[in-house]
Amino acid sequence: MPEDATKWSSVERDREAAERAVRQRLAVVLADVAFPVEDQLAVAAAVDAPHSQRVTVGDRRFTAMELAVRLEPYQDFPYESLDALVDDVVAGLREEELL
């Protein structure tokens, strides 16, 4: 395998691992949200301590509230499931080049 392909493969594995870690953490942070959920306020109300719950993305840490504000343009409420909300959060992190 050419060296560039090996590097790319390693980068891709790291990215996939980071995404899995973010998805797992979001599942924990959002565990108490009752779906379907209509808006960000309903999510924030269900998150235990939204100003202190942290999600690590790469080498940066965000509170649940910081992520909600930063990724608001990528969210499409209402959400019927945790997976749908997490998918949009991850897509927003990618768009913001944070993941």
Q: pLDDT tens-digit profile of 35-85?
A: 999 998 888 888 877 667 788 888 889 988 888 889 999 999 999 999 999
Per the structure, how many domains does the chain have? 1
Enter the tokens of residue 97: 């080049």
Amino acid at 41: L
Whole-number pLDDT of residue 8:
58
List pLDDT tens digits, range 10-26. Answer: 777 888 999 999 999 99
Tell me which residue range forms the domain holding 72.
3-95
Per DSSP, the three-state class of 47 is coil
**Predicted confidence band at 94 (pLDDT cuts at 50, 70, 90)?**
very high
Q: Are 57 and 97 in contact (CB under 8 A)?
A: no
Please say whether the beta carbons of 24 and 65 come within 8 A: no
